[in-house]
Amino acid sequence: MAGWPPVEWWRDAVIYQVYVRSFCDSDADGVGDLDGVRSRLGYLELLGVDAVWLTPFYPSPMADHGYDVADPRDVDPTFGDLAAFDALVDEAHRHGIRVTIDLVPNHTSSEHEWFRAAFDSAPDSPERARYHFRPGRGPDGAEPPNNWQSVFGGPAWTRLSGADGSGGEWYLHLFAAEQPDLNWTNPEVWADLEKTLRFWCDRGVDGFRIDVAHGMAKPEGLPDDDGAQARLLGDTTDDPRFDDDGVHDVHRMIRAVLDHYPGRMAIGEVWVYDDERFARYVRPDELHLGFNFRLLQTPFDATAVRTAIEHSIVAVESVGARPTWTLSNHDVSRPVTRFGGGAVGLARARAMALVTLALPGVVYLYNGEELGLPDVDLPGWALQDPVWERSGHTERGRDGYRVPVPWEGGPPGYGFSEGKPWLPMPDGWSELTAAAQLEDADSTLSMFRRALELRHSHAGFATNHSGLEWYGAPPGCLAFRRPGSTLVCALNASESPVPLPPGDVLLTSGPLAPDGLLPPNTAAWLA
C-alpha cells in the first residue's frame, strides 16, 4: 500500500462485507477467522472489490456473535490474534484492497471490565455512570424504568439483584441483556472510543463501519415510547430509542479523530427513513458515508426501485455526500430469497445487482451475494441468533442469511472448513461454489466480475456526478443514464419482453430474447 495517496478512495468504491465467522476457517474449528480471510484475498482481488468490511472480531462471549464486545482493542482467540490482524491488513494492502472494520459504540458486552465493575458497585457510583442504571417503577421498583422494548424482543431493561437478594437497579439494553447500552453523557465513554479509533488507525485500518450509528445518544429522562416499538430495521420516526439529536456530537468527534489520519473514512449504519434527518449524519463535519437502506427494503418493482434511488440521491445531495447502495447484509434476507426464491429470485437478484452497480457512489456487497446464495431454512436446533430465544422461538432470527460461504467441493464444509461448520451448510450447493462458478462464463460470479471490471475501466463510470438522467421506459421498466457519459442501465421488471434503449450492449444479467428484446427479470448495461 506504500505510495497510495490519501485521497477519498471510497467515493465510488465497491466494498465487500466479510462476515468473519462465515467466510473461511483456517484451523478446522468450524468458525471463520482472520487467517481464513487472508487466505482468500486473491479471490477478492480477482472479484475486483476495492475494500473489505470485517464484522467484529474482538474478544466477546458471542451472545450476539461478536456485536457484544468485551474489549474493542484486541482480537478474540476464535478469530486469531493481533499478529493475524496485522498480517491480514498488510497482505490486503499488497493486493490493493483497503480494510475497514466494525465498531460498536452503542453498547458493550456484559463481560466488559466496565460492566463487571458496575455490576459490583453501588447505585450512583462512577462505575454505574458509564451505563444507564435506574431504579424501577412501582412501590417496590419491580417494574422497568420505562416501557422501551429490546430490538431482540422483550423489555429493554434487566434488573440486578441487591446484595441481600432483593431487587436492585435496572440497566438498559436496546439489544440483548448481554449488551448493556453505554451512557454517552459520560466523558469516559467518549475518551474510550477516541482511544479505540486511534488504536486501529495506527495499525493501518482504512475505515470504520459504525454499528447502530443512529443510537448512542438517548433523550433526557428516557421517556416512555408511545409505540412501544421493538423494531430496528425500519422507520425510526417518533422512536425515542434512536436518532436523538445528541448523536451528531458523537459523530463530530469521530470525524475529528479521523481527520488526523488522511485517507480514513467512517460509514454509519443509519436506519433513518426521513431524507432530511438522514442527511444530518453525513454533513461535512460528521460521517463520510451513511448506509441508506431504502433500496434494500424495496420490492422488485420498477416504480418502487426508481423512487428508492431518487430518495437516496436526494438525501445526500444537499450536504455534498456520496450515496451508498446495498441489497444485502448479515441482518436481512438475501436478495435471491427476498425477490421470490428459485430461478425467478436469482434472475431478479442478478438484475438488481446490475442496477445497483450502475449507480453513482459506493456499493456494498455481502459475502456470498456474488455467488447468488439464497437464505437457508435451518433446523431449530441449529439456530444461534439471540432473536430466536428472546422471541420465545417465534422469530427465527438472522442465521439463515449467515450460513458459511461455499468455496469448492461438496458438503459438509464446501471448502469453508475441514471441521463441522458452525451453521450447517445445505446439500446441493456444489454448483454454487466459487470454484464451480469461476469455470462458468454465465454464472452469477462471472457476471459480478465483469460488472466490477467495467466499473473500474469503462469511461461511463468515470464521471463524478451523483445524479442520474432518467429515460422514458415501458410500463414496469426503468432506464437511466450516468450524466456526462453514454452509459445506460435498463431494467425490465414487467412480465413481457421489451425493446432495449439505443446503444451497444456491454453486459446483461441474463440472456437476451432471440429477437434482441430484454426479457422480464433482466437488466442490461449499454453504451
Catalytic residues: 211, 269
Contacts of 390 (CB under 8 A, 6+ apart): 150, 152, 153, 154, 176
Partners of 171 in beta bridges: 133, 158
Total length of the chain: 527
Partners of 397 in beta bridges: none
Distance between CA atoms of residues 455 and 354, nearest Å: 11
Q: CB of 367 within 8 A of CB of 52?
A: no
Residue 233 CB coordination number (10 Å)? 12
SS3 annotation, 415-427: CCCCCCCCCCCCC
Q: Of 452, 475, 510, 451, nearest to 306 (Cα)?
A: 475
Distance between CA atoms of residues 462 and 467, nearest Å: 13
SS3 annotation, 5-46: CCCCHHHHCEEEEECHHHCCCCCCCCCCCHHHHHHCHHHHHH
Contacts of 428 (CB under 8 A, 6+ apart): none
Q: Of 422, 382, 491, nearest to 79 (Cα)?
A: 422
Q: CB of 76 within 8 A of CB of 39?
A: no
Question: Which letter does DSSP use for residue 310 in this model?
Answer: H
Distance between CA atoms of residues 197 and 195, nearest Å: 6
Distance between CA atoms of residues 64 and 359, nearest Å: 33
Q: Which amino acid, 113?
A: E
Partners of 109 in beta bridges: none
Contacts of 305 (CB under 8 A, 6+ apart): 295, 298, 352, 355, 478, 491, 493
Element (H or E) spanning 331, and its range? none
